[in-house]
Amino acid sequence: VTGNTNDIERTYQALQTQASYRLFNRLNLGLSYTYSEAKGNEIGETAGSGPVASNPNSYREYKAFAQNNPVGFLPNDQTHRARAWASYDQALGFLGNLNISVLERFDSGVAYSAVQVIDTRPYVTNPGYATPPSQINYFFSDRGEYRADNLTATDLALNWTIPVSKVS
């Protein structure tokens, strides 16, 4: 059965900015920043397959409780994401070119919840389903109440290009 419903909530809002500047002929600087918020009661996608179909109205007798599908921060909610980089090119004559790059990354922690799959069959009288669901989500916290730690990392890249005839 396919149908439409207003029971699914999902919003994503973001502000993104990016800038770059060539300070000297050989030095490039840049940065990017994203401020975002993802809220709702439906994740609606997976890392491996992208969008997935769901039906929050299926098996209502087993899911009709507040801790089953609350509205809150979704797992992809990452408030801050920033990148700053610098890249320097140095000509080495007949030895080619050397590029040195550094990238600084900051990612704020993503949201997660205290949620567990439970079996509601012992507590619900089966209204006639041939196979009632055996696994229903139960949120022991608000959705997205907790945050993973922030992540900061520095990456360094060295690239040496050597000309060999018409290729490098």
pLDDT digits (tens, 9 = 90+) for 82-112: 999 999 999 998 889 999 999 999 999 999 9
Is residue 1 predicted with pLDDT exceeding 70?
no
Residue 14 has which token pair? Answer: 């973001």
Residue 138 has which token pair? Answer: 């139960």
pLDDT of residue 2: 65
**Is the model more confident about 18 or about 66?**
18
Q: How many CB atoms lie within 10 A of CB 139?
A: 19
Q: What percent of the chain has pLDDT over 90?
A: 59
Rg over CA atoms, the chain? 25
With cut-offs at 50, 70 and 90, classify the pLDDT of residue 69: confident
Q: Where are the beta strands (DSSP E) in 8-150?
A: 10-22, 27-40, 45-46, 50-51, 72-73, 80-91, 97-107, 111-112, 115-118, 136-139, 146-147
Is residue 61 predicted with pLDDT exceeding 90?
no
Please report how many Cα atoms fall inside a 13 Å half-sphere around the Cα of residue 136, on the Cβ side.
24
With cut-offs at 50, 70 and 90, classify the pLDDT of residue 63: confident
Is residue 119 predicted with pLDDT exceeding 70?
yes
Per-chain mean pLDDT for the chain: 90
Q: How many CB atoms lie within 10 A of CB 8?
A: 15
Residue 144 has which token pair? Answer: 């997205």
Q: Whole-model pTM?
A: 0.77
Is residue 3 predicted with pLDDT exceeding 80?
no
